[in-house]
């Protein structure tokens, strides 16, 4: 009896039109309306993607085929599941006429810094077009106290991406991380981490951008700082190689050389500084010492 009562309460189909109308009208604040609009747009985009995947790929452009490869990858539903309903997120509109969608592409890459509260903040974004012309390369104040500007691993730089026209394809390597940083939910994407794969390896093992480019050109010299403009250009070049020269999508497995001094080290990446050392000791019940890699640098914008 309780189960039946609960089911009737949760099923809108068992409510009258008047009751449902009154319920919807109770959300009369501007923030409520924005939330509903965003939820509706997300749902509309998902339906558009479902229809896109159901259509025959026979007449798709090479760019659209790479979008399909990305959307059909087993990791896509996991990696691209964003909290798009949150107030500070932007949900782009999907072109309803996907068959007439533009093949124009923009490649994006972001750089992050570690903040003192353990979170990460966006500090630079770079965007290039198909001609590798720079469309955006700007810095932004992260508005947080920064613990580590990662001068060894990355440079530092940024600003949020403002507009994406209907049908524009976003290109990037592990692009979900950049969209997460930008807080943009965009459906038409080409992720080079999905398009290319290692020979004989599991599909879940994604090739790094540096390894992909070792078979054509170097993204950066070993030990050089990460530069998001170089990476945006590299991702676009990889896609153009597929579109124009129709290169293969499989590369040989790469075994990175490891120094003998590092053989007994276990790297725990992105552990918040607020996590007490004793918790790490409990999680890994062995005798070990902690070597914290955090560099404090004071820089202003």
Q: What is the pLDDT of residues 215-266, one digit of tens each?
A: 665 666 665 667 889 899 999 999 999 999 888 888 777 665 555 555 567 7
Concatenated DSSP letters of 5-20: HHHHHH-GGGS-HHHH
Predicted pLDDT of residue 69: 94
Q: Is the pLDDT of residue 68 over 90?
A: yes
Q: pTM (2 decimals)?
A: 0.71
Q: What is the mean pLDDT of residues 268-282?
A: 70
CA distance 108 to 235: 8
Residue 101 CB partners (closer than 8 Å, separation 6+) = 64, 95, 166, 167, 188
Where helices occur in 55-174 by DSSP H, the ranges are: 62-71, 76-79
Q: Which helix (H) or strand (E) holds 280?
A: helix 277-283
The pLDDT value given to residue 239: 93
The per-residue pLDDT for 21 is 82
Q: How many CB atoms lie within 10 A of CB 155?
A: 17
Determine which of 132-141, 153-162, 170-179 has the lowest per-residue pLDDT on average: 153-162
pLDDT of 80 reads 92
In whole numbers, what is the pLDDT of the chain averaged over residues? 75
Measure the CA–CA gap between 274 and 19, rounded to whole angstroms.
Answer: 48
Helix axes 30-54, 62-71, angle to 10 degrees: 110
pLDDT of the residue at 55:
82
Strand partners for 114: 120, 148
Q: What percentage of the chain has pLDDT greater than the value 70?
A: 68
- In the predicted structure, residue 135 carries a pLDDT above the cut 60: yes
Q: What is the mean pLDDT of residues 180-207?
A: 87
| In the predicted structure, residue 32 carries a pLDDT above the cut 80 | no
Q: Is pLDDT above 80 for 288? A: no
The pLDDT score that the predictor gives to residue 194 is 94
Supply the pLDDT for residue 296: 40
Is residue 149 within 8 A of residue 113, CB to CB? The reply is yes
Query: Rg of the chain over CA atoms, in angstroms?
Result: 23
Q: Out of 168-172, 247-251, 268-272, which region has the weakest mean confidence (pLDDT)? A: 268-272
Question: In 3-state terms, the chain is what percent helix, strand and coil (to 5)?
Answer: 35, 15, 50
Residue with the bigger pLDDT between 4 and 38: it is 38
148-153: long-range pairs with CB below 8 Å, 24+: 148/113, 148/114, 148/294, 148/295, 148/296, 148/297, 149/113, 149/123, 149/295, 149/297, 149/299, 150/112, 150/113, 150/114, 150/226, 150/295, 151/225, 151/295, 151/297, 152/225, 152/295, 153/225, 153/226
pLDDT at 79: 92
Q: What one-character-per-residue DSSP string does 22-82 give?
A: HHHHT--SHHHHHHHHHHHHHHHHHHHHHHHHHS-GGG--HHHHHHHHHHTSTTHHHHT--
Instruction: Tell me the residue length of the chain.
Output: 301
Spatial distance between the Cα atoms of 80 and 276, rounded to a whole number of angstroms: 31
Residue 293 has pLDDT above 80, yes or no: no
pLDDT at 133: 93
228-244 and 62-71 are packed helices; what angle lies between their axes, rounded to 10 degrees?
120
SS3 240: helix
Res. 72 pLDDT band, cuts 50 70 90: very high
> What is the pLDDT, as a whole number, of residue 17?
85
pLDDT of 156 reads 32
Taking residues 123-128, report their average pLDDT.
86
Most confident of the following: 137-146, 179-188, 288-297: 179-188
């Amino acid at each position: 009896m309780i189960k039946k009562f609960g089911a009737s309460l949760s099923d809108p189909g068992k409510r009258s039109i008047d009751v449902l109308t009154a319920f919807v009208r109770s959300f009369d604040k501007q923030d409520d309306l924005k939330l509903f609009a965003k939820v509706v747009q997300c749902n509309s985009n998902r339906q558009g993607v479902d229809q896109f995947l159901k259509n025959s790929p026979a007449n798709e452009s090479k760019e659209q085929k790479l979008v399909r490869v990305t959307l059909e990858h087993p990791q896509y539903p996991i990696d691209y599941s964003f909290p798009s309903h949150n107030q500070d997120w932007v949900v782009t509109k999907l072109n309803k006429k996907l068959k007439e969608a533009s093949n124009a592409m923009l490649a994006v890459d972001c750089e992050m810094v570690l903040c003192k509260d353990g979170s990460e903040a966006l500090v630079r974004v770079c965007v290039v077009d198909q001609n590798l012309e720079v469309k955006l390369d700007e810095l932004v104040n992260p508005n947080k106290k920064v613990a580590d500007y990662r001068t060894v691993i990355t440079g530092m730089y940024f600003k949020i991406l403002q507009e994406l026209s209907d049908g524009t394809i976003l290109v990037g390597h592990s692009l979900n991380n950049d969209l997460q940083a930008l807080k943009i939910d965009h459906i038409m994407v080409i992720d080079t981490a999905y398009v290319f794969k290692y020979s004989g390896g599991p599909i879940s093992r994604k090739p790094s951008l540096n390894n992909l480019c070792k078979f054509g050109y170097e993204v950066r010299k070993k030990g050089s700082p990460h530069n998001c403009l170089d990476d945006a250009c590299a991702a676009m070049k990889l896609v153009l190689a597929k579109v124009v020269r129709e290169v293969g999508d499989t590369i040989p497995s790469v075994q990175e050389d490891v120094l003998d001094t590092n053989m007994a080290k276990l790297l725990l990446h992105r552990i918040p500084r607020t996590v007490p050392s004793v918790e790490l000791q409990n999680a890994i019940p062995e005798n070990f010492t902690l070597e914290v890699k955090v560099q404090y640098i004071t820089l202003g914008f």
